Every structure is written in structure tokens, then in C-alpha cells.
Amino acid sequence: MIADIVRTAFWAMDGAVFSELSACPTCGSPVSGYDYKNRQFAVMDDNGIPHPVHVRVKRFRCRQCHRLCYADQPFYPGTRIGSPVIDLCVTFAAGMPAGRTARVLLALGVRVDRTSCLLFTRKFRQEIRTADVFGMRLPFSILALSNLAARSFEAGPIPGAEALAACGFPSAYRATPDPAM
């Protein structure tokens, strides 16, 4: 059951589009659309075969400072994998070593190597809101994404704004969300 919750959450993100940015994160000036970039959100495991889950993120050019910036997206700063994957790693690693965390994630259908699990637990020390589901702690971001996917009336990815709200993540350029929210 837990594996289904996790898989549903990540597969619902496949093809999600993040295209909103109100202003340049550096100088606050208006931005103009530039192009879209595919980013790997997660790597799912299907009987030993890796299947990447990609999201599309719109890039913008600042009209004032001419920097290239990305739309609001569910990635922590400096990472190449979706924030819910990192939340899952950090949550599991709180009670087990990195190698076992990687094996548990693989059993749930998510591929993350043990070195990445170890790095995530060292880098992200903030409190992650979790809930007990069938005796296992799961981050709220996973539960919210899975719930959105289950409630979705149309097939396809979760809309970007809803995915951001589910992850509790305003933008990769701003501070991480307040765990008390």
C-alpha cells in the first residue's frame, strides 16, 4: 500500500509544467519568457528497469539584469532531484543508515543511491513534516501529491501550481518552507 502511495505521487508529476514566475529573484524586475527545460524529478524502478520522471520548467530572462532564471519549481536549491524525493530520503534516514534507506526506497519503486541518501541527510537538516502511515513515516509532500493524483478527474500530470502547493515549496530561489505550516 505504501509503495502505491509513493509511486502514485511521483508518476503524477511526470510531464508536469512549472511556468510561473512573478519577478526576477535576483533584482525583482519583470521577466520575459525564454524557453522550457526538462528536469529530472525522480527515477522510478519498474522490475529493475529505471524510468525517469521529468517535469518541464519554464526559463525566463530578466529585463533589467538579463539573468536567466527559472519558474517556481519543487526543487531544493542546488539539487537535481525533486524535493519530495529528498524529503523521503531524509525522513527514512532519520531512523536507518543510508544504505538501508536506499534499499527501502528501491523496494518502494524509487531509485536513489546510498551516497545520494547520505549527502541529502547531511545537507538537509530541517524538520520535515511527516505522518505515520501503516507504521511508516511518510512526508506530507508525498501524501499530498498522491492525494492530488487520486482526486484528479483528468489523466495526466498534476498542474504545476497545485504540485507546488502540495510540496509546500514556493520556489527553488526562496527559503525552504516553514515546517510549522
DSSP H helices, the chain, are 2-11, 83-93, 98-107, 114-123, 140-151, 160-167
Rounded CA gap, 174 and 94, in Å? Answer: 25
**DSSP secondary structure of 111-140:** ---HHHHHHHHHH--S---EEEETTEEEEH
Rg for the chain, CA atoms, rounded: 16
pLDDT band, residue 50 (cuts 50/70/90):
very high
Supply the pTM of this predicted model.
0.84
Is residue 58 exposed (0-12), middle (13-18) or buried (19+ Cβ within 10 Å)? buried
Mean pLDDT of the chain: 87
Does 105 have pLDDT greater than 60?
yes
Q: How high is the pLDDT of residue 177?
A: 37
Identify which has the larger pLDDT, 41 or 170: 41
As a whole number, mean pLDDT of residues 62-81 equals 91
Q: What confidence score (pLDDT) does residue 169 get? A: 66
Residue 160: strand, helix, or coil: helix
Domain spans in the chain, listed from the N-terminal domain onward: 2-167
Residues 57 and 70 sit within 8 Å (Cβ to Cβ): yes
Dihedral over Cα of 136, 139, 140, 141: its sign: negative
Q: Which residue has the cell 501529491?
A: 145
DSSP state of 101: H
Q: Please, is 173 exposed, middle or buried when counting C-beta atoms within 10 Å of its C-beta (0-12, 13-18, 19+)? A: middle
Asked if the model's pLDDT at residue 11 lies above 70, the reply is yes
How long a stretch of residues is the chain? 181
Answer yes or no: are the C-beta atoms of 159 and 167 closer than 8 Å: no
Over residues 54-70, the mean pLDDT reads 94
> What is the arithmetic mean of pLDDT over 107-124?
92
pLDDT of residue 181: 34
